[in-house]
A = this chain, B = another copy of it.
Amino acid sequence: MSVLVVGSLALDSIETPFGAVDNTIGGSAVYVAVASSYFTNPIRLVGVVGGDFPPEGIAFLERRNVDLEGLQIVRDGKTFRWAGKYQYDLNARDTLSTELNVFESFDPKIPEKYRKSRYICLGNIDPVLQLKVLDQVENPRVVICDTMNYWIERKGKELRQTLERINVLILNDSEARLLSREPNLIKSGRVIRGMGPTVVIIKKGEHGALLLTEQLVFSAPAYPMESIFDPTGAGDAFAGGFAGWLARTDDLHEENLKKAVIYGSTLASFCVEKFGVEGLADLTYLQIQDRFRQFRELSRFEED
């Protein structure tokens, strides 16, 4: 099964306590596409870049079997740029600058051959754009959607329209509390499921993730990282791993949703081990399976 990924492509400048990189390729669509590419292919990408997007970036995506027919390249425009700096504990980050550039007028156009995609992953972008994507696709099996506090606060009404049309919402704990106005995460998940998605995944950073459905509460552990090199893209890598596994297996039973959450966590854990997308650049499927098993060891205990 292919996955249609829609989101941002960017040139990121990142500073962490461990170093800095300038103008490295990033953006939600890049992380989601690359992470999901380890599970299924082709990955179909819809996004926009300027003429300054490096040819190596394009080559990297092509090497990962990402179909770029849906990538708009505005030759005389500049790519979206983001610069950020992480604090010592890597939980807080300051955005130093944001230049939307060609992303400001991004109008997602879904190529004809993408429209019947069964799995759709809507990266963390304006819910108005997410809705435009949903208007162009035909009867997808699963729509997975990421969002953030920025959109919850500024485009609440549009986000609620998106939520009515998706199956899986992925967001972090503070975003879940903000969206649901409910501090208890279990209740928060129920409130959000009432807004549309039948599956809600609440990411809790160093504390793992919760998968919440009508019947199920599943608590996924976090991989015990001793040093997180660069948290950028971890949430998108999670979404990509989750979506990629579901598309690979095309199985929506709860046991398989749990596995998808662990594969999402696996890809996120690789992502933060290096700068930018480098952590996702050269994985083998064996490495991914090995870490999946480590996740299992981490939380497994015997019956009594």
Rounded to whole Å, the gap between the CB of A138 and the closest CB of chain B is: 31
Q: Which of A99-107, A119-127, A159-167, A183-191 contacts B (4 or more CB under 8 A)?
A: A183-191
A221 in complex: contacting residue of B183, B219, B226, B304, CB < 8 Å = B219
**A contacts, CB < 8 Å to B:** 88-89, 183-187, 204, 206-208, 210, 217-222, 224-227, 255, 258-259, 262, 289, 292-293, 296, 298-304
Given contacts A219-B208, A219-B221, A221-B219, contact A183 B299 (CB under 8 A): no
Task: Tell me which of B207, B218, B303, B304 contacts A299 (CB under 8 A).
Answer: B218
| Number of copies of this kind of chain in the complex | 2
The contact sample of 16 A-B pairs, CB cut-off 8 A, is A184-B227, A186-B226, A187-B226, A207-B208, A208-B208, A217-B298, A218-B299, A218-B301, A219-B222, A219-B298, A221-B299, A258-B301, A289-B304, A292-B304, A293-B303, A293-B304
B contact residues around A259 at 8 Å (CB): 301-302, 304
* Complex contacts, A298 vs chain B, CB 8 Å: 217-219
A300 to B262, CA, bound (A): 11
Once bound together, how far apart are the Cα atoms of A298 and B211, in whole Å?
A: 10
Q: A207-B204, A207-B207 are contacts. A262–B301 as well, Cβ < 8 Å?
A: yes
Would you call A296 and B289 a contact (CB within 8 A)?
Answer: no
| Distance between A50 CB and nearest chain B CB, rounded to angstroms | 38
- A169–chain B nearest beta-carbon distance, Å: 18
Kindly state the separation between the CA atoms of A293 and B304 in the bound complex, as whole angstroms: 8
CB-CB under 8 A from A255, the residues of chain B are 301-302
Q: Is the CB of B299 within 8 A of A184?
A: no
What 9 A-B pairs come out closest when comparing CB atoms? A219-B221, A207-B207, A258-B301, A217-B224, A186-B224, A89-B183, A299-B299, A219-B298, A219-B299
The CA of A208 and the CA of B299, in the complex, are separated in Å by 11
- Cα separation A292 to B185 with both chains bound (whole Å): 21
- CA gap between A210 and B208 in the complex, in Å: 12
Tell me, in angstroms, the Cα distance from A206 to B186 when the chains sit together.
10
**Minimal beta-carbon separation of A154 from chain B (angstroms):** 25
A53 CB → nearest B CB, Å? 35
CB-nearest residue of chain B to A301: B258
A218 and B224 CA atoms in complex are apart in Å by 9
Q: How far is the CA of A299 from the CA of B296 in the complex (A)?
A: 9
In whole angstroms, how far apart are the Cα atoms of A300 and B300 in the complex?
7
- Complex interface: chain B residues within 8 A of A225 (CB): 184, 186
Indicate which residue in B206, B296, B302 contacts A303 across the interface (CB closer than 8 Å).
B296
CA separation between A298 and B304, bound complex, in Å? 15
Chain B neighbourhood of A219, CB < 8 A: 208, 221-222, 224, 298-299
